[in-house]
Each structure stands twice: as C-alpha cells, then as structure tokens.
Amino acid sequence: MSVQKSSGDAADALAAGDRVEAAGRRPRHARQRRFPAVGDAGQARLAAARVLIVGLGATGGAVADLLARAGIGLTLVDRDYVEITNLQRQTLFAMADLDQPKAEAARRRLAAIDPELPLEVRIADLHAGNAVALGRGHDLIVDGTDNFAARFVINDAALSLGIPWVYCGAVGASGAAMAFGAQGRPCLRCLHPDPPEPGSHDTCETAGVLQPAVAMVAGLAAMEALRILLGEALPPAALQYVDAWARAYPRLAVAARADCPSCALGLLPALQPEGEGDALATVLCGRDAVQVRPPSAALDLAALAERLEPACEVELANGFIVRFRADGLVTTVFADGRAIIQGLDDGGRARGHYARWIGL
C-alpha cells in the first residue's frame, strides 16, 4: 500500500503507520468493520490505500462517493466543468458547483463528508503523455470516463505500472463493470481488440442515460474496488453487464488473447506518442464540442481574460476557467492550457480557433 512518507525518516514513517492504524479504527466505519471480510485489519488496509479516479461524472462521481465514505484516500482527475445537464445523474454536484471544475467540486463535497480523508485534485486530461505519472503511487485506478480512447490509456498505464483497475460505464438504461487484476491478463484490449471508432457507439448525449443504471454499475465497480483493496482473489475474468430496463444481468466471460498488443506483446499502443491516446484535438462525441490540448502545459488565465476582453465577449472568469464567445463559438479555457470549444465537431477547425484566439 502506498502510504505517503517523508523519504528516509524512520520517525515520520512510524508516525504515518500510526496514522493509518488510527484511521482504521475511526468510529465512522464501525458498521463496515463489522462485516467479517473487512474487520479492523481490512479497514486499516483501506485507510492505507490510494485510488486514482479518472473522470468525476456520473459513474466516477458515484464510485468516488462510495470509496470516500469507505475511508479510502482518492486522487480525483477530471478535465471538465459542471453543467446544468449533469445534475440529473452526477450526484456529487449541486447548483453552486455550476461552471466549477468537476475534480475540485468533487473534492469539496467529499471533504465535507469526511474532512480527514486524503484527497488530491488534478484538473487535467488523462492522455498518453501523463497517464503513467498520474497513476504512479496508487494501488488501483477506477475508470469514470465516458470514452474508449481514455479507457485504453488507463488499460495500458495500469499494465505499465502493474496495478489493477476497474472499468465502469453506463449509457441509456444499461452499463457494465469489470475488474482487471494487477497481473493484467486478460485486459480491456482482449475484450475489444480494436477500440470502437469515435462516433460508432451510443453516448449519454445521443442515447440518454437513466441514473439508476449509473448507480448499479457504480455499485458493482466500487464493490470490485473494495474486494481488490482487501486482497480478495479476483473471480474468473468476466464483464458484468447490466440492462436495468430489461432486468437482464448477464456475466460474460473474457479470455486473454495470445496476440494482444497490450497484455501479451507489451506494446502498450495507447501510451505511444501520437498514438490513439495522444490526440491534440478530441471530438467530444454528441456534445457538438471539441477539446484542444496544446503541447505546452500552463496558461495565465487572468492575463488571457485581459487579452481577450477588448476583442470578444468574456462570459466568465472564476479562477479555474475563462469562457469567451467569439466567431459564433463558446470556448472554455482551463489553467492547464486545454480548451473545450462548443459549437463545432471538426478537430482541424477547433485547432485553428484555438490558435487564433488563445495561441498555439
């Protein structure tokens, strides 16, 4: 378990050990400790664990809520901000969070539930270039994303780090969850040898989504996470599918492929520069929007707002994001340099818009 320690300082290490042991005995987890598979020792394991949650939308937010209440320290990664259409199913957020970065709004909510819980925030896009660094130091990664490109990056990053991860997704009234062990075989690419093409499958924007289906798959994913962190053996690899509308819950066996580029050949295609996880412009499917992620990392938002002000309409500047309207498009810019450009679905045009107004 990756407890944070001051390097080489035995006294600090001892104090950290004491803190973890004390965290394992907190009264708030008494009913969870009563469950035989948890107990005091299991609760101490959970208190020492660190989980990376990628995406704090419907599924990721629900899993974060469940794991935080269980006493597990979290790192919260999300690239987006809260919108009014999120509130129907993204249960960590309320009206006061509109236009706030989801990762930060999630942290505030979880800290209000448990002020002692270790929580870290990364307002960022997970991609080929940063996934391994983001994952390092964690015992488990939970997929709360809404797209297969990101899931393949998580898959290959988890394989590279030798840590388990849990897949989770919901759309319409159905969804699926699956745990992938630290040994990494089979992996997501064994299940989907070729990532589905963007635009080839339903999304929450095109097919809608019902919150109970989200809650069901998030519950399955959180339970898999608890089992893994408590050291329980993984069952034979299988995707747990949920069709909540049809009341059908098939469990589909997944076999490791002998020629899998990720887990058999170790090529980790999603982590390669210019690979599928490294797109500069990402069409956000069904949202009529494109995310542009420039190569450089940081942006002075206050200076940008000042620069834009005379030329176009700056609608919002709240310390985390700057939003402006220009050329018929609404552009939301984050401090890490990313922009989500609303009103188009063409990556090239989006890059041009970014270069013209923000600068590449």
Taking the complex as a whole, the smallest distance from the CB of residue 183 to Zn ion amounts, in Å, to 11
Rg, the chain, Cα only: 21
Residues near 352 by beta carbon (within 8 Å), at least 6 away in sequence: none
With contact defined as beta carbons under 8 Å apart, do 65 and 92 qualify? yes
Minimum CB separation of residue 155 from Zn ion in Å reads: 8
How big, in percent rounded to 5, are the helix, strand and coil portions of the chain? Answer: 35, 20, 40
DSSP helix/strand/coil, 332: strand
3 state DSSP class of 322: strand
Residue type, 200: S
Q: Which is nearer to Zn ion, 41 or 252 (CB)?
A: 252
At its nearest, how many Å lie between Zn ion and the CB of residue 58?
27
Classify 241 as helix, strand or coil: strand
CB of 242 to Zn ion, least distance (A): 23
Indicate the residue among 190 and 279 with the shorter CB distance to Zn ion: 190
Nearest approach, Cβ of 204 to Zn ion (angstroms)?
27
Looking at the Cβ atoms of 119 and 187, the one nearer to Zn ion is 187
Contact 296, 287 (CB under 8 A): no
What's the rounded Cα separation, in Å, for the pair 20 and 16? 6
Supply the minimum distance, in Å, between the C-beta of residue 166 and Zn ion. 16
Q: Which residues bind Zn ion (CB under 5 A)?
A: 187, 189-190, 260, 262-263
Q: Would you say 141 or 187 has its CB closer to Zn ion? A: 187
Which amino acid is located at 63 in the chain?
A: V
User: With respect to Zn ion, which residue has the nearer C-beta, 185 or 349?
Assistant: 185
Q: Between the CA of residue 99 and those of 80, 103, 165, 330, what are the distances in Å? A: 9, 12, 30, 13
Q: How far is the CB of 269 from Zn ion (least distance, A)?
A: 11
Cβ proximity to Zn ion, 191 vs 216, nearer residue: 191
Burial class (CB in 10 A: 0-12, 13-18, 19+), 51: buried
User: Is 260 marked active-site?
Assistant: no
Q: Measured in Å, how far apart are the chain's first and last C-alpha atoms? A: 41
Cα distance between residue 89 and residue 72, in whole Å: 23
Task: Name residues whose C-beta falls within 8 Å of residue 257's C-beta, 6 or more positions apart in sequence.
Answer: 186, 189, 190, 193, 264
73-78 vs 165-171, strand pairing mode? unpaired
The single residue of 204, 260, 263, 285 carrying the catalytic annotation is: 204
Question: What's the count of helices (H) and strands (E) in the chain, helices before strands?
Answer: 12, 14
Nearer to Zn ion, 124 or 188 (CB): 188
Q: Which of helix, strand or coil describes residue 302?
A: helix
The residues annotated as belonging to the active site are 204
